Amino acid sequence: MSETEQSSIPYLEAYCKHLSYQRRLSPYTVRNYRKAVECFVLFLKKDQQWQSCFSGINQATVRSFLIEEQGRISRRTLHNYVSGLRNFYTYLRQEGQCSSNPFSQVLLPKLERTLPQFLTESQMVSLLEAPAKMLHSKLISRFDAFRDNLILELLYGGGLRVSELCSLKHGAIDSKTGVARVLGKGGKERICPLGALAMASLEAFIEGFHFSSEPEAPVLVDKKGQAMQPRQVQLRLKRYLQFAGLPMSITPHKLRHSFATHLLNSGAELRAVQEMLGHASLSTTQLYTHVSIQRLKAIHAQAHPHG
């Protein structure tokens, strides 16, 4: 959908601002919810129902839309669409633009919770060593090596989400204690220990390149001193995965999975890991215990004389 078409959808921009500033949802979630509204409007335009999209939508229309989308997108994306559109119509009701929410009664089968993908500890070491090795081989610049080492140490050492990493300011980090105040999902603040290696990487980057470390200055910057964006971080990570011969399916968020899994494997308490990750529900963190149990079962099967 073109920018002109997007801007012609009444209340879409206001809805997205509401999600960002009132609901404090992540840019990733806001982008997904926007996409859901745009797709629904395109569907309505095909069926000549565009003009009545706020007040004339019935369950039959909603079902037709979901059936059509089901054939071309994943189940997880379909769940995201329903959530985004349910929230959109809730917002419209609050603004007095419609009398009912056509998505309020939509029930989709529960998604199966898949075990998170993560790197083993030895794989993680290979990844963390990649920037220095690439610098030694003159494959990257000194700036990229120092900055990208900091990226990897913060993602793995602090268990940060990529959006949290990119929005991290120097003023949020206490250099004496080695902890950061991180603004997570829903605008909730949490305390994240970053680890000695991450703090050493930060100090080396600041001293080596003399970028501003004022409280409001971003921690991660490009060569021009501009704050890095999540997509830039993802692309930098891909380069080191390729160099280290690691799965290219690994994302910044899967380094967060690795952080949690390795902590639990080393005996960390589940509640403590939940706090460090900023999970609202303990059940979300418990997924990582299943990973640890699977690892123990694999070791048992391999090492026990009776299999």
23 belongs to the catalytic site: no
256 belongs to the catalytic site: yes
288 belongs to the catalytic site: yes
DSSP string spanning 90-107? HHHHHTTS-S--TTTT--
24 belongs to the catalytic site: no
How far CA 32 is from CA of 41, 82, 265, in Å, comes to 14, 11, 34
From 34, 86, 236, 279, active-site residue:
279
253 belongs to the catalytic site: yes
From 185, 239, 254, 295, active-site residue:
185
From 161, 236, 257, 262, active-site residue:
161
Burial 161-197 (b: 16+ CB within 10 A, else e): bbbbbbbbbbebbeeeebbbebbbbeeeebebbbbee
User: Distance between CA 28 and CA 191 in Å, rounded?
Assistant: 22
User: Distance between CA 118 and CA 28 in Å, rounded?
Assistant: 21
From 31, 253, 254, 295, active-site residue:
253
33 belongs to the catalytic site: no
Residues known to be catalytic: 161, 185, 253, 256, 279, 288
